[in-house]
Amino acid sequence: MTRARLPGSGRGLAIGLFGGSFNPAHAGHLLVAETALVRLDLDAVWWIVARGNPIKSDHGDYSARFASAQKLAGRRHLRATDIEAQLSLTYSVDTISALKKAAPQTRFVWLMGADNLSSFHRWKDWEKIAGMLPIAVIARPGARISKATPFSRKFAAARIPEARARDLSRMIAPAWTYIRVRENPVSSTALRAKA
Protein backbone atom coordinates (compact mmCIF):
# COMPACT_ATOMS: atom_id res chain seq x y z
CA MET A 1 0.00 0.00 0.00
CA THR A 2 1.18 3.53 -0.77
CA ARG A 3 2.33 5.54 2.23
CA ALA A 4 -0.20 8.26 3.09
CA ARG A 5 0.68 11.95 3.34
CA LEU A 6 -0.84 13.00 6.64
CA PRO A 7 -1.98 16.58 7.32
CA GLY A 8 0.40 16.84 10.26
CA SER A 9 2.23 14.86 12.90
CA GLY A 10 -0.05 12.94 15.20
CA ARG A 11 2.65 11.31 17.28
CA GLY A 12 1.47 11.20 20.89
CA LEU A 13 -1.47 13.50 20.11
CA ALA A 14 -5.25 13.19 20.33
CA ILE A 15 -6.68 13.70 16.83
CA GLY A 16 -10.33 13.84 15.85
CA LEU A 17 -11.16 12.25 12.49
CA PHE A 18 -14.10 14.03 10.89
CA GLY A 19 -15.22 12.22 7.75
CA GLY A 20 -17.78 13.45 5.29
CA SER A 21 -18.70 14.37 1.74
CA PHE A 22 -18.42 18.10 2.52
CA ASN A 23 -20.58 18.89 -0.49
CA PRO A 24 -19.88 21.72 0.27
CA ALA A 25 -18.24 22.22 3.65
CA HIS A 26 -20.16 24.78 5.72
CA ALA A 27 -20.48 26.49 9.10
CA GLY A 28 -22.27 23.46 10.60
CA HIS A 29 -19.22 21.30 9.85
CA LEU A 30 -16.97 23.94 11.36
CA LEU A 31 -19.10 24.03 14.52
CA VAL A 32 -18.87 20.22 14.88
CA ALA A 33 -15.06 20.29 14.44
CA GLU A 34 -14.46 23.23 16.77
CA THR A 35 -16.82 21.80 19.41
CA ALA A 36 -15.02 18.46 19.30
CA LEU A 37 -11.63 20.17 19.51
CA VAL A 38 -12.58 21.90 22.77
CA ARG A 39 -14.97 19.46 24.43
CA LEU A 40 -12.85 16.36 23.72
CA ASP A 41 -9.58 18.14 24.53
CA LEU A 42 -8.15 17.24 21.11
CA ASP A 43 -4.87 18.50 19.69
CA ALA A 44 -6.30 18.70 16.16
CA VAL A 45 -9.19 17.65 13.92
CA TRP A 46 -8.46 16.15 10.50
CA TRP A 47 -11.31 16.51 8.00
CA ILE A 48 -11.38 13.39 5.83
CA VAL A 49 -12.99 14.34 2.54
CA ALA A 50 -14.71 11.20 1.30
CA ARG A 51 -13.66 10.02 -2.14
CA GLY A 52 -17.18 8.70 -2.54
CA ASN A 53 -20.06 7.68 -0.32
CA PRO A 54 -21.63 4.28 -1.04
CA ILE A 55 -24.80 5.36 0.81
CA LYS A 56 -25.28 8.58 -1.22
CA SER A 57 -25.82 8.79 -4.96
CA ASP A 58 -24.63 12.39 -5.49
CA HIS A 59 -21.14 13.08 -4.20
CA GLY A 60 -20.35 16.20 -6.21
CA ASP A 61 -16.98 17.07 -7.71
CA TYR A 62 -14.16 15.88 -5.44
CA SER A 63 -11.83 18.80 -6.15
CA ALA A 64 -14.54 21.33 -5.30
CA ARG A 65 -15.49 19.45 -2.13
CA PHE A 66 -11.87 19.20 -1.02
CA ALA A 67 -11.29 22.90 -1.73
CA SER A 68 -14.34 23.87 0.35
CA ALA A 69 -13.10 21.71 3.26
CA GLN A 70 -9.58 23.19 2.97
CA LYS A 71 -10.99 26.71 3.07
CA LEU A 72 -12.99 26.11 6.27
CA ALA A 73 -10.46 23.84 7.96
CA GLY A 74 -7.50 26.09 7.18
CA ARG A 75 -6.87 26.89 10.82
CA ARG A 76 -4.03 25.91 13.12
CA HIS A 77 -5.75 22.89 14.66
CA LEU A 78 -8.07 21.99 11.78
CA ARG A 79 -6.78 20.36 8.58
CA ALA A 80 -8.44 18.84 5.53
CA THR A 81 -6.91 15.61 4.23
CA ASP A 82 -7.28 13.83 0.91
CA ILE A 83 -6.07 10.49 2.31
CA GLU A 84 -8.95 8.58 0.70
CA ALA A 85 -8.06 9.97 -2.72
CA GLN A 86 -4.35 9.33 -2.12
CA LEU A 87 -4.93 5.67 -1.24
CA SER A 88 -8.00 5.05 -3.46
CA LEU A 89 -10.12 4.20 -0.42
CA THR A 90 -13.89 4.43 -0.17
CA TYR A 91 -14.87 2.95 3.18
CA SER A 92 -14.25 4.59 6.55
CA VAL A 93 -13.14 1.30 8.08
CA ASP A 94 -10.29 1.09 5.55
CA THR A 95 -9.35 4.76 5.99
CA ILE A 96 -9.21 4.36 9.77
CA SER A 97 -7.05 1.24 9.39
CA ALA A 98 -4.65 3.13 7.09
CA LEU A 99 -4.41 6.07 9.48
CA LYS A 100 -3.82 3.86 12.52
CA LYS A 101 -1.07 2.07 10.60
CA ALA A 102 0.51 5.35 9.42
CA ALA A 103 0.33 6.96 12.88
CA PRO A 104 0.34 4.16 15.48
CA GLN A 105 1.17 6.47 18.40
CA THR A 106 -1.78 8.78 17.75
CA ARG A 107 -4.96 8.63 19.84
CA PHE A 108 -7.68 8.89 17.20
CA VAL A 109 -11.34 9.65 17.92
CA TRP A 110 -14.00 9.33 15.21
CA LEU A 111 -16.32 12.36 15.00
CA MET A 112 -19.77 12.22 13.51
CA GLY A 113 -22.80 14.46 13.46
CA ALA A 114 -25.87 12.97 15.13
CA ASP A 115 -27.60 13.06 11.73
CA ASN A 116 -25.27 10.23 10.59
CA LEU A 117 -25.92 7.99 13.58
CA SER A 118 -29.26 6.70 12.26
CA SER A 119 -27.52 5.22 9.18
CA PHE A 120 -24.24 4.22 10.83
CA HIS A 121 -25.32 0.55 10.87
CA ARG A 122 -25.37 0.68 7.05
CA TRP A 123 -21.65 1.52 6.91
CA LYS A 124 -19.27 -1.26 5.95
CA ASP A 125 -18.03 -3.00 9.13
CA TRP A 126 -19.63 -0.41 11.42
CA GLU A 127 -19.24 -2.67 14.47
CA LYS A 128 -15.54 -3.06 13.65
CA ILE A 129 -15.20 0.74 13.45
CA ALA A 130 -16.74 1.04 16.93
CA GLY A 131 -14.10 -1.41 18.18
CA MET A 132 -11.21 0.40 16.48
CA LEU A 133 -11.44 3.84 18.08
CA PRO A 134 -13.67 5.88 20.41
CA ILE A 135 -16.55 7.78 18.79
CA ALA A 136 -17.96 11.21 19.60
CA VAL A 137 -21.44 11.98 18.27
CA ILE A 138 -22.06 15.73 18.00
CA ALA A 139 -25.59 17.18 18.05
CA ARG A 140 -27.02 18.30 14.70
CA PRO A 141 -30.34 20.04 13.94
CA GLY A 142 -33.30 17.69 13.96
CA ALA A 143 -31.19 14.67 14.92
CA ARG A 144 -31.42 13.28 18.39
CA ILE A 145 -29.83 10.23 19.98
CA SER A 146 -32.32 7.43 19.86
CA LYS A 147 -32.06 4.28 21.91
CA ALA A 148 -33.61 2.55 18.90
CA THR A 149 -30.64 2.85 16.54
CA PRO A 150 -28.65 -0.35 16.07
CA PHE A 151 -25.47 1.45 17.21
CA SER A 152 -26.95 2.92 20.41
CA ARG A 153 -28.54 -0.44 21.29
CA LYS A 154 -25.45 -2.55 20.62
CA PHE A 155 -23.03 -0.18 22.34
CA ALA A 156 -25.27 1.15 25.12
CA ALA A 157 -22.87 -0.09 27.80
CA ALA A 158 -19.94 1.68 26.09
CA ARG A 159 -21.54 5.13 26.27
CA ILE A 160 -19.83 7.55 28.64
CA PRO A 161 -21.46 10.66 30.12
CA GLU A 162 -20.89 13.92 28.28
CA ALA A 163 -19.20 15.25 31.43
CA ARG A 164 -16.35 12.77 30.80
CA ALA A 165 -15.92 13.65 27.10
CA ARG A 166 -12.40 15.02 27.73
CA ASP A 167 -11.30 11.48 28.65
CA LEU A 168 -12.61 9.85 25.46
CA SER A 169 -9.32 9.89 23.50
CA ARG A 170 -7.63 7.93 26.30
CA MET A 171 -10.29 5.22 26.40
CA ILE A 172 -10.13 1.82 24.80
CA ALA A 173 -12.81 1.25 22.18
CA PRO A 174 -15.64 0.63 22.16
CA ALA A 175 -16.37 3.90 23.92
CA TRP A 176 -18.58 6.75 22.80
CA THR A 177 -20.29 9.91 23.97
CA TYR A 178 -22.93 12.34 22.80
CA ILE A 179 -22.05 16.05 22.83
CA ARG A 180 -24.80 18.64 22.98
CA VAL A 181 -24.00 21.92 21.27
CA ARG A 182 -25.56 25.14 20.03
CA GLU A 183 -26.94 23.81 16.78
CA ASN A 184 -26.22 25.37 13.41
CA PRO A 185 -29.13 24.72 11.00
CA VAL A 186 -26.97 25.01 7.84
CA SER A 187 -26.77 21.83 5.78
CA SER A 188 -24.95 20.89 2.59
CA THR A 189 -28.26 19.86 1.02
CA ALA A 190 -29.73 23.31 1.61
CA LEU A 191 -26.62 25.03 0.24
CA ARG A 192 -26.72 22.89 -2.93
CA ALA A 193 -30.42 23.71 -3.37
CA LYS A 194 -29.63 27.46 -3.21
CA ALA A 195 -26.74 27.22 -5.67
Residue type, 54: P
Across the range 182-189, mean pLDDT stands at 55
pLDDT tens-place string over residues 108-156 = 999 998 888 888 999 999 999 999 999 999 987 665 666 678 999 999 9
Q: How much of the chain, in percent, has pLDDT values that exceed 70? A: 87
What predicted TM-score, i.e. pTM, was given to this entire model?
0.89
187, pLDDT greater than 70: no
Residue 107 is part of which domain span? 17-194
Instruction: Classify residue 127: in a domain, yes or no.
Output: yes
pLDDT tens-place string over residues 22-68 = 999 999 899 999 999 999 999 999 999 999 877 766 668 999 999 99
C-alpha dist (Å) from residue 60 to 23, 103, 112, 160, 169: 6, 30, 20, 36, 32
Domains held by the chain: number: 1
Instruction: Classify residue 99: in a domain, yes or no.
Output: yes
